[in-house]
Structure 1
Amino acid sequence: MEAAKEDTKALKSVEAAVEARETTSEGETPTQGNMAGSEKSPDTKGTRMEETEIVNDRKQKTEDKVQKLHSKNGDIQQNEVQKEQVQESAKEQTVNEVKDMAQLEKSKEQEQQGVEEEEEEEEEEDDVFGALSVFTSEVFATLSSPAEPLQREERNPRPLAANGVDPANTMRLLQDLMTYDEEEPDVTYGLGPMDSHGRLAVVSHLLAALVTTLDPQHLRRLATRIMSDSCVWVSRLFRYFESTAYIHEDVREGVVRVCRMLLHTRYPKYTTDGYQALYARPPVIYTSSTVRPGLPQHIATMLGIGCGCVRVVPCNTIVGSPVAMDTAALDRMMAEDLAAQKKPFLVIANAGGGAVGGVDNVGRIQELCNNYEAWLHVEGHALAALTLPNAPNLSAKVGDSMTLPLSLWLGVPSLPYITLYRAYEAAAVHAVGLTALSLHVRLSCLPLWTTLQTLGQSGVVSRFQHAFELGQHLQQHLATLSRIRLLSPAPPDGSNFVTIQDLVTKPISTSQLLETVSGSVVFQYVDEANNGGKNTEYYDNLNSWLGQVVRRDVGTIPLELVQLETAGLVLRWSPMEGPDTHHITLADVDHLIHSLHHQLDILNATVEQRKTFTELVSSANNLQLVEIPGWAGLGGVRYIADLWLDQNPVLETTKDDINALNVHLVSQLKATDSAFSLGEGSDGLNCVRFGMVTADTDLSELLSLVITTGREIETSSRFLDQMTDIVRKGIEAATEDLKRENEERLWQEGILRHVPIVGSVYNWFSPAPPPGIKGRTLDLTAGVLESTENIYRYHMQIRHGSAPTRSETKLPPAPSVQTPVSPSASSPSHSRSSSTTSALVPGSTHSRQASDLPPTTPDIKNISAPTLTANGTTAAV
């Protein structure tokens, strides 16, 4: 019985252990709220169910054994043995179950640790972009925040630091170099405004450098995808389907590599023999005179064929546009070179590029290239019009290759250039590197890819269309203005006129498409008698003034001044080159046209009044006509005093006086009218400068004002010169008189009175009489030098030449000394020195230095209290 009781207790302990394990397993959560652990919970539940079944089976077996033991109560020994076996089996089961639970918990911990590591890796990947974003924001904030300029020693170049510099100090120096310039310390520079597309392009450059940290194989696959997308999009945009694109950083690199491909194609032995293969039939490059300067010479230099292989084709002089290539001359040149055992190699045509924006006859040039087996490369702003027609499947046949500056046309900063070309042989293409990708530094095509993605086809086309509409609208109005010569190709008038909208909706040939759009607007103000020649220097000054004034009035349209060899100074605006063209409206163009109308009225009036101005100045005796370099107004006049009219040539000393007189004249005229200004003629002398005038300006009145003011200054300066001469002579006479009086007094009093010690004893025994005060006074009005005894005795002054008043009826005796002082008869009536001029005209640039001035007063330290009076005012000498 005791054994049965013990077996029952063992059975209960096993059941309690099983219930405790079930309770523990039911109370546990899968992974304590972890999503990754919850995804693995079905496997964990299956494992627990298998464990529960095993325990139940073992429990059932134990119960069966216990029942058998109860049925055999007689055999106590056998029951004890079975009891021991049951206890051992129960212990083993408990140990095994504990081990299973430990392994299960360990696996759970490993799974949870793996999930946490994966989450940490994902967080680290996110942190790379997040940290980069924060760093970029800090850099942009540092560069955009205003700061005071650094000291000179902080911004001067210095050797490379041995231990490096703090990045914050580096960005601070970069900000200072971007904002300030030592050559222009008063000017503050800043970054230009950018829209969302421009900012995305700038950030894409950062990402293009960042993606180079990817795995090399993955980076190559990514670069191939982005490269192929960009090439396909551009080819379809410009309807140049049978072509391949090459993306490059230098605008000239594309056509250079295309020419190298041609060398491999046209000269089969070029790969093995090199440049010796070109000796038998050297290649020749033909270019239009309106193509971008230096491009053909650069191609010849890079190919190693020399600039002697470049031939410039003249423009049309009789038939066709004067800014387009003469196709007849091109045909003649190519035939001559072919007969001379040379090979026509490349023709560079212009389609709205260059300074003037001329458009060559691309269709005819293509026919000539096909006949002579030459390659045709086209450049220019008009190529953007290939995207306008609403016929995406219609191919545009424009040359064999073309270079597209999309960054310039779209107004998005720092996009790469694209050269579309027809590929002949794959071996030649790979030999010159037209398909190579530079992945070591950055992925250069990524900014282009992001820009095309965000703009889309409609965005690109709308920007091009808007720019062409602005240019055509301005050209239409300029063609109607008189004395305005339009140098860029003007749109046809009458029934042949085609609008930009017609290019989108109507089927138009490619040649007509290129000739209709206006990539650049170039014009200038000309003389009525000008028949297409070059402007004179004066009209160049007028165009310079017109461009500056209009650009000041209409700041939204960036007019630029360009110097052309055949026309002179011209005004140019290219809507395809402005970064903010898509923000300019037709109202802004109308404002520009209104400003041009107003300024043209002033120009016409100035040109007409200039003839009258020249005649009036020539008829005046004291006025001299002056040509002022770079001045667009009426011109300049110089006032010449009567004294200097007979001097031919003018003396050097007289030039200083003439400069000073005209400086004083301009200062007096400015007080009357601010339109007068000081100028300098081609001879280096000062003059009165006349600016732009209107039709109702009275030139005779202005010139008479100049003459009147000049005579007044001349008269006043003559009076001052006379007074200067009187004062100088008066001081000299006073010095001589006082010196003579001192000598006489010395002899009268005796020498003993002036001997030291002896003179004191002698004066004590025989005091000398008190000396009389005999200073000198100078009357500038009368020109008389007198002694001063009456002034100190009677306390009164007498004006010479004036009638005596009632209080002056009883006059004092005449002074003991009266010396008349008058200017020298030999001195001119108008001889003003530079020192006097500098005193009369403050700030004069022609005054001498103080050390160069002649002395005007003697050293009179030993003179006893002399005085001078001017018009009754006494002053000590």
Structure 2
Amino acid sequence: MVERRVGKLDLNGTVPSPASPGSGKSSSVSGDSGVLDDRPLAERKSGDAVQHAQEKTNGVESKQPHSGVSAVLQQLEQLIISDDWISKDAHNEKSHSEGPRLSELGRTLVTSSSLKAYIDLLGAQHRQSIAAWLYGNTSQTLSNLFRFPSGNLHCSDADSPLTNSPKSGIGYAVRLALRDRYGPERLAHGWKAFVEMGAPVVYVSPAVHLDLSTYLATEFSISDVVQLPKLEGDLSDVEGRIDLVAFEKQLDADISAGKLPLLVVGVVGSPILGQNDMISRLLELKKSKCGFWVHIVGQAIAALALKEPNKMLVDVLSQVDSFTFPLAMWLGIPAAPVVTLYRSVEGYKPTYREKLDALPWWVASQHLTPKKITQTIENAYFLSKAMLKGLSAFPEIEILGIENAAEFANRVYRGQYSPLNVLIFKYKYAELERFRKKRKESKSSTSSNEVDSEKNGKEKGSALSEQELAVIDKEHKEAMEYADSLNCWLGQGLITECRQLGLQMVELRGGHGTAFRFCPLESAATHSTRVEHIQKFIGQLETTLNIVSSTVAARKHFEELKSQYPSLGIFPIQKWAGVGAVCYIPSIVKDTDPKDWNEKQRQQVSHLNLELVHSLRSIDSAFSSGECSLYGVSCVKFGMLSDEKDLNDLVHLVAERGKEIEQSQQYMDSLAEMIRQGIEAANEDLKRENDARIMQEGVMRQIPLMSSLVNWFSPLDKETQNIKGRSFDLKTGQIHSTEMYYKRRLMAGENITSQEPHQNHSLVKAVEREKALKPDEQLQPFQEEVAQAADEPQENALNSEASRIVLAVLLLL
């Protein structure tokens, strides 16, 4: 007789394996090693006791070798719990990464994947019945929950937690739309159906941040994927909505071209601004133009599951053909597929595999119940209202898409407006707002000047406007960079200290800079966010904004304060939220413009400022060193100020401490070392030049007696005879030739700092001796010099002839 035992499902994730037929043994899992042991219970107990006694007697711990499936499971366990086996060169990650922490529901959902494989082993009728019952029960539960009557369920795996999760759902909607528009025979005809009925066109809202062109072309051979134009608005460059007028024109053009509009992907609750497309208008176009499929994605779909949802929202979304939403993310549960609800299509029935894919959501819906799902979504929207109320109390905070945050928050609490599913906020830098208005006015005035110039033939006014606009654009860019730095500084502390909120830093398009993103639907369930966390954040934000306001106020007076300290220069530093940066300029390079500093001077200035920062940090850790990319030197950066009145004392401290370091023995030693290196370099240049001169003159000229004879045969060039000295400039740290001091014609060509040389005493004596001569005697040397210049070619010829004669006589001797 064959005995069959089936283990019960353990919600903690342990599934006992059934005993093998005829063995009469039950399988169990060891709690210590996790290895399967197929021995009977009595035999295991007795064997463990004997083994423990033997280990105690021998005093040595022994381990039994594992074989078969147990060894494979143990190896797999080691691969999962540790990442030491991964090559660190290929994966630059820390070792011993912490595994995901699963709740009871999470462990059950992970186990359900194994149960799906086990159900496949059952008989055909048995497994078909299980899949149909799971699918029908789950579809009815979720359709009722999201107020989509007679909806069908499709579960697809998420490609990633946020961005790509709706992609597979959109693909399934395209498959349904193709069957609905082209009929079941499309599968048999293939591409010929596109030729007969027209090529399909898919229209995508500009708020869908997905690359669907490649995906749809690969999966369905659809090449026409149109990104619809945006509706013009103040924030359309950040995230747009469908321009329905342009869409209607696009529809008419495609229909005239013989194409078939297949599907439109609309958005309710965009991921950045939480905006909605006009879905009701899309439904009207569907009825009037052609029966395209309307598929919806977005965070605002969650509002359908509220206790008292917006009636207009329910009425509109109940008429669409399908929508996809990441319910697992909203509920904070892992290993659950993305949900797509769709209306029934004639002649289409889900397959057995599609029905069985609903198993994880059947488990989740049974464990959580629709009531708990609604409470979780209600909590997320309540957190959004609480955050909106807290942020509206700060005039320094700008919430994108809301002009009057305080009034909007009051209307939300009174129920006149629906709460936002996502909040994008940032610090409002007043200078940036001023430059934006000025820039806008300048552009409008420039355009008007251009029109007047075309009419009146004037070009001078428009040219001046372009120059002014360039200056304003530069100021606007600098203000925008500083505003981004302030928001990044806010995020460094607030995001770290308030992890329960799930705040994110996002880079907005259209030059709107960096901002905070708060979406409780995505993070509240995972982080167990409560209202107390919102209150803690608002309190810390108030403290931090006081520091930011003091720093911004002190920054305005920074330039004025610098004029009292000539030794300090304000240098621009990028991506710094503090007051600014100064550079202590030593007296040795004070007279030189920073743009004209050479490499030696930049090193000298950087060395002094680094020593200054090291000294200042012992007093105040807010000081730090920074690199000025404009001049290539190190600077002293001022941090954030809690009180703007402290700036005067801090600047005075930097100036005094810099002066002390400059006059200190250590700095003088470094300066002396630089001079010593310059002298050594000059000696090396002189030695190198002397060696080159000797090689050019030859060996014979170095012999005392022969040198005169050889010089008489072949006189040296004057340039070769002159030995140029070297001078070391203390201001620039450069080595120059002394020839510049004797030839004034080179001074105009050399772009270097000159020094006044000492007078030559022999030259002075010669001048005095010439003054003592008579006028005729003074003119005689100049006359002889003129005559010598006139006879120079003849003398050179005579010298060459005489040298040949003397050389012949020497050879005869």
Structure 2 length normalisation: TM-score? Answer: 0.64
Change in 2 beyond 3 A, CA 1:366/1:701: same
User: Aligned-pair distance for 1:192?
Assistant: 4.2
Pair 1:254 & 2:174 matched = no
Q: For 1:743-799, what per-residue CA distance to the aligned partner results, in whole angstroms no more than 9, with x for missing partners?
A: xxxxxxxxxxxxxxxxxxxxxxxxxxxxxxxxxxxxxxxxxxxxxxxxxxxxxxxxx
CA 1:633–1:136 in 2, change beyond 3 Å: closer, same or farther?
farther
CA distance in 2, matches of 1:305, 1:720: 76
The residue that corresponds to 2:627 in the other structure is: 680
Aligned to 1:113: none
2:306 is aligned, of 383, 388, 408, to 388
- CA 216–411 in structure 1, closer or farther in 2 if over 3 Å, else same: same
Aligned to 2:637: 689
Deviation at 1:710, TM superposition (A): 1.3
Tell me, in whole angstroms, the C-alpha distance in 1 between the residues paired with 2:677 and 2:573.
40
Are residue 568 (structure 1) and residue 513 (structure 2) matched? yes
Structure 1 stretches of 5 or more lacking a match? 1-116, 142-161, 503-511, 732-824, 834-877
Larger Rg: 1
For 1:274, the equivalent position in structure 2 comes to 190
Report if aligned partners of 1:356, 1:520 keep a CA contact under 8 Å in 2.
yes
Matched, 1:330 2:213: no
Aligned to 1:121: 4
Whether 2:581 is the aligned partner of 1:636: answer yes
Picking from 278, 298, 311, the partner of 1:361 is 278
C-alpha contact (below 8 Å) 2:554/2:644 kept by paired residues: no
Identify the residue that residue 709 of structure 2 maps to in structure 1.
Answer: none
**Counterparts of 2:570 and 2:407 in 1: how far apart (Å)?**
48
Distance 2:34 2:521 in 1: 32
Show the counterpart of 1:461. Answer: 374
**Matching residue of 2:571:** 626
1:420 aligns with 2:341: yes
Kept in 1, the 8 Å contact 2:171–2:216? The answer is: yes
Match of 2:669 in 1: 720
> What's the counterpart of residue 176 of structure 1?
82
1:525 to 417, 421, 427: 427
* 2: CA distance, partners of 1:330 / 1:336: 10
State the alpha-carbon separation in 2 of the partners of residues 178 and 194 from structure 1.
Answer: 22
Does the C-alpha gap of structure 1 residues 229 and 481 become closer, same or farther in structure 2, counting only changes over 3 Å? same
CA distance in 2, matches of 1:681, 1:234: 59
Secondary structure of the residue aligned to 2:283 is helix
Report the counterpart of residue 603 of structure 2 in structure 1.
656
Partners of 2:406 and 2:330 lie apart in 1 by 27
2:231 is aligned with 1:315: yes
Instruction: Tell whether the 8 Å contact from 1:484 to 1:525 is kept in structure 2 after alignment.
Output: yes
- The letter of the residue matching 1:437 is R
Distance 1:454 1:827 in 2: 85
Q: Counterparts of 2:567 and 2:618 in 1: how far apart (Å)? A: 21
Mapped contact 1:472–1:491 kept (Cα < 8 A): no
Could you tell me whether the CA contact under 8 Å between 1:357 and 1:488 is conserved in 2? no
Residue 163 of structure 1, CA deviation: 13
CA gap 1:217/1:135 in 2 versus in 1, 3 angstroms: farther
Q: Which moved more, 1:195-204 or 1:686-695?
A: 195-204
The offset of 1:481, in angstroms, is 2.4
CA distance in 2, matches of 1:478, 1:140: 55
Gap change, CA 1:663 and 1:398, over 3 Å in 2: farther
Letter in 2 for 1:197: L
Residues 1:603 and 2:548 aligned together: yes
Query: CA RMSD of the aligned region, Å?
Result: 4.1
- Deviation track 1:797-849 (CA, whole Å, cap 9, x = no partner) reads xxxxxxxxxxxxxxxxxxxxxxxxxxxx976668999xxxxxxxxxxxxxxxx
Question: What residue is the counterpart of 1:737 in the other structure?
Answer: none
Aligned: 1:403 with 2:321: no
The whole-number CA distance in structure 1 between the counterparts of 2:308 and 2:667 is 84
- How far is 1:479 from its partner? 3.2
Give 1:278 shift: 2.9
Rounded Cα–Cα distance in structure 2 between residues aligned with 1:319 and 1:719: 59
Q: Which residue of 1 aligns with 2:268?
A: 351
Give the partner amino acid of 1:281.
Answer: G
**AA partner of residue 469 (structure 1):** F
Please list the CA deviations of residues 656-710 of structure 1 after superposition, one character each: whole Å capped at 9, or x if unmatched: 2222111111111112222111222224432111111124342222112111111
- The 3-state SS of whatever aligns with 1:437 is helix
Residue 653 of structure 2 corresponds to which residue in structure 1? 705
- Whether the 8 Å contact between 2:569 and 2:585 is mirrored in structure 1 is yes
Q: Distance between the aligned counterparts of 2:515 and 2:674, measured in 1?
A: 57
C-alpha change, 1:299 and 1:397, in structure 2 (3 Å) is same
Alignment partners' CA distance in 2, 1:132 and 1:360: 57
Amino acid at match of 1:360: D
Query: For residues 680 and 258 of structure 1, do their structure 2 counterparts lie closer, same or farther at Cα, with a shift above 3 Å needed?
Result: same
Q: What corresponds to 2:688 in structure 1?
A: none
1:203-222 map, 5 Å: 203-222=111-130
Question: 1:617-676 CA distances to partner (integer Å, 9 max, x unpaired)?
Answer: 366432232333322222222222121233442111222222211111111111222211
Q: 1:392 to 1:830 in 2, by over 3 A?
A: closer
Letter in 2 for 1:277: A
Counterpart contact for 2:131–2:352, Cα < 8 Å:
no
User: Cα gap change, 1:397/1:167 in structure 2, threshold over 3 Å: closer, same or farther?
Assistant: closer
- Structure 2: gaps spanning 5 or more residues: 10-15, 20-25, 37-67, 159-164, 441-476, 681-725, 735-813
Cα distance in 2 for residues equivalent to 1:469 and 1:391: 13
Q: Distance in 2 between matches of 1:133 and 1:521?
A: 51
**Aligned with 1:485 (options 382, 394, 398):** 398
Sequence identity of aligned pairs in percent?
Answer: 27
Cα distance between partner residues in 2 of 1:574 and 1:324 = 20
Q: Measure the CA separation in 1 of the matches of 2:35 and 2:144.
A: 36
**Shift in Å at residue 230 of structure 1?**
1.3
Q: Tell me which residue corresponds to 2:503.
A: 559
Cα separation, 1, equivalents of 2:494 and 2:170: 38
Contact 1:415 1:447 in 2 (8 A): yes
Q: 1:538 aligns with which of 468, 479, 482?
A: 482
- CA 1:312–1:614 in structure 2 vs 1: closer, same or farther (change >3 Å)? farther
Greater shift, 169-178 or 450-459, is seen at 169-178
Counterpart code for 2:126: H
After superposition, residues 718-797 of structure 1 pair within 5 angstroms as 719-720=668-669
Query: CA separation in 2, counterparts of 1:491 and 1:612?
Result: 31
2:292 and 2:405 map into 1 onto residues whose CA distance is 32
Deviation (angstroms), 1:572: 0.6
Partner Cα distance (1:448, 1:136) in 2: 30
Tell me: CA distance 1:500–1:201, structure 2 relative to 1, closer, same or farther (3 Å). Answer: farther
Counterpart of 2:134?
A: 226
Residue 283 of structure 1: how far off its partner (Å): 3.0
Q: 1:56-78: CA deviations, max 9, x gaps?
A: xxxxxxxxxxxxxxxxxxxxxxx
Residues 1:585 and 2:502 are matched in the alignment:
no
Contact 1:575 1:581 in 2 (8 A): no
Deviations along 1:317-375, one digit per CA (max 9) or x if unpaired, are: 27999854333333343334334443332221111132332222222222222222222
Q: Is 1:284 the equivalent of 2:201?
A: yes
Asked if 2 retains the 8 angstrom alpha-carbon contact of 1:288 and 1:315, the reply is no
Q: How far has the Cα of 1:301 moved from its partner?
A: 4.7
Deviation digits for residues 542-573 of structure 1, max 9, x if unmatched?
A: 11111121112222212111112122212112
Deviation by residue 1:74-108 (Cα, 9 ceiling, x = unmatched) = xxxxxxxxxxxxxxxxxxxxxxxxxxxxxxxxxxx
User: SS of the counterpart of 1:313?
Assistant: coil
Q: Which amino acid aligns with 1:669?
A: L
Compute the displacement of 1:379 (Å): 0.7
For 1:644 and 1:351, locate their aligned partners in 2 and report how far apart those are by CA, in whole Å: 63
Q: Hey, what's the Cα distance between the residues in 2 that align with 1:677 and 1:659?
A: 13
**Number of paired residues?**
584
* Distance of 1:523 and 1:319 partners within structure 2: 13
Tell me how far apart the structure 2 counterparts of residues 267 and 344 of structure 1 sit (CA, whole Å): 12
- Asked if structure 2 preserves the Cα contact closer than 8 Å seen for 1:288 and 1:325, the reply is yes
